[in-house]
């Protein structure tokens, strides 16, 4: 795991938003363009979820889940074709953690403050020079409150369900669109209503609605904001 002492002066671009808002894709593009590190914080919650299923820990057992989260043995690697591979206890779980079921369990375990606290320092350990682009739900509000730029990315629920459907289909995962829409609405509700670190824009976040915009256009808007802030410093 890339954990370590974080450097509080290293700039962070925090990109938060709901399921299917495109934050993962945009964060990756922005990080590549700037030559900065990337943190996909959702992957960490998904890894806790997968580890809990593998070890038979019920999704209601906060203490056991928190212990599991603080003891996660994970590695992020980039393979020869430039794709990221994620390992849990030495096993390649890159595609396993992307299933809808893993997302659902991730959202359940993410509601426990013990789990969130255990993942906090791991996430902050990704803040390394020359900079970090972090995507998730609470990057700007909780994990990196002094982020250089905070973006809250969203899109209409309909568009998010369609994008997620296409993403899964491209990976060979067959899910019905209505079932996916219901799951997205449920997950949004649970993520927004939980008492710890609920999904909502940080007070100083810039809102970006990506409905009807291309990936390139949204990426460019974020890069323009970075350039504008860099000029002001």
In the complex, the residues that contact ligand C5P under the rule CB under 6 A are: 19, 41-42, 45-46, 103, 106-107, 110, 136-138, 187, 191
Query: Cα–Cα distance between 102 and 44 in angstroms, integer?
Result: 11
Q: Are 50 and 57 in contact (CB under 8 A)?
A: no
Task: State the residue number with the nearest CB to ligand C5P.
Answer: 42
Query: Cα–Cα distance between 132 and 127 in angstroms, integer?
Result: 6
Query: Cα–Cα distance between 115 and 100 in angstroms, integer?
Result: 20
* CB nearer ligand C5P, residue 141 or residue 224: 141
Q: How far is the CB of 233 from ligand C5P (least distance, A)?
A: 26
Q: How far is the CB of 45 from ligand C5P (least distance, A)?
A: 3
* CB nearer ligand C5P, residue 22 or residue 103: 103
* CB nearer ligand C5P, residue 196 or residue 223: 196
Q: How far is the CB of 104 from ligand C5P (least distance, A)?
A: 8
Pairing of strands 84-88, 74-78: antiparallel
The torsion angle over the Cα atoms of residues 154, 160, 164 and 169, rounded to 10 degrees, is -140
* CB nearer ligand C5P, residue 46 or residue 150: 46
* CB nearer ligand C5P, residue 195 or residue 233: 195
Q: How far is the CB of 217 from ligand C5P (least distance, A)?
A: 22
Q: How far is the CB of 77 from ligand C5P (least distance, A)?
A: 18
Q: What six digits make up the tokens of 70?
A: 């603080």
Query: Cα–Cα distance between 47 and 34 in angstroms, integer?
Result: 27
């Amino acid at each position: 795991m890339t954990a370590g002492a974080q450097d509080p002066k290293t700039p962070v671009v925090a990109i938060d938003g709901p399921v299917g808002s495109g934050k993962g894709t945009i964060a990756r593009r922005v990080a590549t363009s700037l030559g900065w590190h990337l943190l996909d914080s959702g992957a960490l919650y998904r890894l806790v979820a997968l580890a809990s299923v593998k070890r038979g820990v019920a999704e209601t057992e906060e203490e056991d889940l928190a212990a599991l989260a603080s003891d996660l043995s994970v590695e992020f690697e980039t393979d020869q074709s430039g794709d990221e591979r994620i390992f849990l206890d030495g096993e390649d779980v890159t595609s396993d953690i992307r299933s809808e079921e893993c997302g659902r369990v991730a959202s359940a375990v993410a509601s426990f403050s013990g789990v969130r606290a255990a993942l906090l320092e791991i996430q902050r350990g990704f803040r390394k020079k020359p900079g970090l682009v972090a995507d998730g739900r609470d990057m700007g509000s909780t994990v990196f409150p002094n982020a250089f730029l905070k973006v809250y990315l969203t899109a209409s629920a309909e568009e998010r369900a369609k994008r997620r459907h296409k993403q899964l289909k491209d990976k060979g995962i067959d899910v019905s669109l209505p079932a996916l829409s219901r799951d997205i609405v449920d997950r949004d509700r649970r993520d927004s209503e939980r008492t710890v670190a609920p999904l909502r824009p940080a007070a100083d976040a810039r809102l970006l609605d990506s409905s009807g915009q291309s990936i390139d256009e949204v990426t460019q808007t974020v890069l323009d904001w970075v350039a504008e802030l860099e000029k002001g410093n």
